[in-house]
Amino acid sequence: MIAPVIDPEFQALIPAPTLEELAGLREDISKYGCSDPIKVLEGTGEILDGHHRYQICQDLKIPFQVVEIEFPNRTEAKIWIIKNQHARRNLTESQRAILAVTLEALYAEQAKERQGTRTDLGQPLDENEVGRSVEKAAKDMGISHQLVSSAKKVVNLGIPELAQMVEDDKMAVGTAAIVADLPPEQQVVVQAKIADKSNRKVQDGKPSSRVTESEVVQIIRGTSPKGEVTPEENLDKVEQHLKSVTKILEGVEITAQREKLTGLLELGEQIIQQVKAIGLRSPVIKRTVETVPSDYQLEIDAQTLKFFLDSVIPAEKGFKLIFGADGLKIISYNDRETNISVSFMPKDYFSKYELEPCEICLRNFSELYENIRFSKKVQIFIEAETEYVHDRVMKIYSGYEACGVTRDATIRLARLEFGPKNRGTPKLNPPCVAVVSISSKDFVRSLGNIRWTQISDENNNRRHVRNATFSIEDSKIKIVADDGSIQKIPCNVLVQGEVDSSFDVYPLSGGDIGNVVEKSDTITLGMGKDYPMIVDLTIGKMTIEYIMAPLIPEDRSEECEIYRGVLADGNGIPIKAERVEFQR
């Protein structure tokens, strides 16, 4: 049997667990043994997954399985390690953003290695391979492009301690990016004060040791050096330089160096982020009320609206917002039309609701989301529908929470005919066979315990699934996952009936939707035999309903994970050339 070996380069890719996580893992292994195999690189024994399990088993002299996985090169192995960590661990968005920076670099390296096998080595890399590496890494980590940009600034411009604080969840990546804008010598001072404040929170028994953005801004203000050159003078210099650059670009019509354009776009993104960071750190500037037009129809707390948007099933074909006389409703189908969300927020949540009943179509939520996430209150104006050809617009007036600077944004709405079709919820007959109520926290936690699987269709389109079969036994919901694991959760049976259906619960098993579901104390589930699952919950006066279609035979045919071209079963163990050995 090949002996596992800890490779420092591989281990450095993995965020270090907390002391509490390590203690819990050690206790679990000491009681139940090591259930997950140690995955190693074929031929070398270098550990890919299970560094801490291996060390604990060695220390406690507990046997474990060893599984070898073959990769064409170390770059592919590193990509697998990072994506596997994202799937196995509950990492924060900021921690995933730091991982995405490494993943982006690996994708670029992977593209160069592929280029090495070509004969046209004199040609630059394809823009789709290099220019979109950020988007690819962001998608794989389940975060936004903006968050990756902030993480790149922390990694590339910040002192090493900044990235470490993000990995230790002591500071959000966006907050760390603000510190990374400072000169290195000032970063050292600011970072030390942030670490001290975080430690004091632990000593004071605070629920979180994370230092907030507003606290960091105060620290920065207290440590800013007094120089002869004023910030206004520096901004004037920047403005003059940018005007000169703009004049130069006006004389450039085309170029064969497309990769150069990609670099300029990234540089432009960095400038935008730095300007925004300056705005966040600057004193509050009082704006006149005329900034917000008196004809805006909607006003609402920004965080309430953000929470409502989090409840919606994501879709790539656009979203329709239906403003009725009684409130706002969003009905969303996922792209495969197997999951539906129906979210309704009464107009009572709006401090102003003077919009005539209408429907509008957003191309994606990110435009709206990014303009409300840092605000306290937002005002929204929606242009009336006209016979003109131009797109209608939505105007949003909001402010940064940290410094209260009012800002406005204009979003061009998609034409309704180009958006998703007008569809209501499906009419089910009967509505449900069996109905039970269950703790929302128990429900979300049980879904998260189901192992996820990455599957690929005939067109090599990949998606994540968490498949399981649901039934009811002795006032308990029985959940049997594809890997054979069984969970039983207490429930209150409201309507008796036969239940035996399988679902892909991945959309409800975590992330923003999982957080929304947990906010409801109790949820109601409607199920049957080979029948959809209906999840009803109420949070305050909001009502949210999720409908999941049962799996059909095609959905369950020999599903398997694909890790960078390696075919594996639901446990991540390769199907071809499988080797499993026990440590004795």
Q: Does some domain include residue 242?
A: no
Q: Report yes or no on 524 lying in a domain.
A: yes
Range 563-583 burial, b when 16+ CB lie within 10 A, else e: beebebbbbbbbeeeeeeeeb
Based on the domain organization, do 414 and 438 belong to the same domain? no
Same domain for 381 and 461?
no
Alpha carbons 280 and 218: distance in angstroms, whole number: 11
Residue ending a domain, among 392, 418, 444, is 418
Cβ neighbors of 284 (< 8 A, separation 6 or more) are 403, 404, 405
pLDDT string in tens for the chain (584-residue length)? 688 999 989 988 888 887 888 898 999 999 989 988 999 999 899 999 999 999 999 999 999 999 999 988 898 899 999 888 776 666 788 888 888 888 888 888 877 766 655 434 344 445 445 456 777 888 888 887 778 888 889 999 999 999 999 888 888 888 898 999 888 889 999 999 999 999 998 888 887 788 888 788 888 877 766 544 556 667 778 888 888 888 788 778 788 777 787 778 878 878 876 776 665 455 433 333 333 455 688 999 988 998 998 898 877 667 788 999 999 998 888 777 788 889 999 999 999 998 888 888 887 777 787 778 767 888 888 887 654 445 678 888 876 444 444 567 788 887 665 555 555 555 555 556 789 999 998 998 899 888 877 766 666 666 778 889 999 998 999 999 888 889 999 999 998 888 999 988 888 876 778 889 988 878 999 988 888 899 999 999 999 999 888 887 655 434 443 333 344 444 444 444 333 232 22
This prediction's pTM: 0.47
**Of 191, 223, 255, which closes a domain?**
223
Q: Specify the CATH number for the domain of residue 412.
A: 3.10.150.10
In a domain, 360, yes or no: yes
Is the domain of 523 the same as that of 453?
A: yes
Asked if residue 446 and residue 380 are part of one domain, the reply reads no
What lies within 8 Å, CB to CB, of 338 at 6+ separation is: 504, 548, 549
Domain total of the chain: 3
Residues 402 and 478 in one domain: no
Q: Please report whether residue 504 resides in a domain.
A: yes
Q: Quick one: 466 and 510 in the same domain?
A: yes
Residue 377 and residue 281 in contact, taking contact as beta carbons nearer than 8 Å: no
Residue 533 lies in a domain: yes
Residue 568 maps to a domain: no
114 is a domain residue: yes
Radius of gyration of the chain from Cα atoms? 26
CATH number at residue 500: 3.70.10.10
Residues spanned by the domain of 122: 8-223
Q: Is there a single domain that holds both residue 397 and residue 438?
A: no
Same domain, yes or no: 375 and 522: no
**392 with 442, same domain?**
no
